[in-house]
Amino acid sequence: MKTPEDEEFERIEREQKRIIETQQALREEMKQASKAFDVAYENYKRNEVLEEVAQEIEKFKGFGEDTIASFTVYIRGMKK
């Protein structure tokens, strides 16, 4: 027969297990969110650089307007 003290210890143990499981789930969720952020940020920076390159190419004077436009369309098409 369990005493009230035994029952309380068991309740505390169950609560501790639940807390640990919740913490583990939150850690996993944070890892996934961090990975998603890293990928999104990487794409953002890539797109930013490609746009900067396209804008600089637009300043070229040695080619015709159509050629420059073709280059910039191609470069902007590389964005993710």
Q: Where are the domains of the chain?
A: 4-76
* Averaged pLDDT of the chain: 96
Are 26 and 34 within 8 A, CB to CB?
A: no
Mean pLDDT to the nearest integer, 31-49: 97
Digit-coded pLDDT (tens) for 48-65? 999 999 999 999 988 999
Q: How confident is the model at residue 4 (pLDDT cuts 50, 70, 90)?
A: very high
**Six-digit token pair at 53?**
């390159």
Helix (H, G, I), strand (E, B) or coil at 12: helix
Q: Residue for token digits 């940020």?
A: 41
Instruction: Give this prediction's pTM.
Output: 0.67
Banded pLDDT at 1 (limits 50, 70, 90):
confident
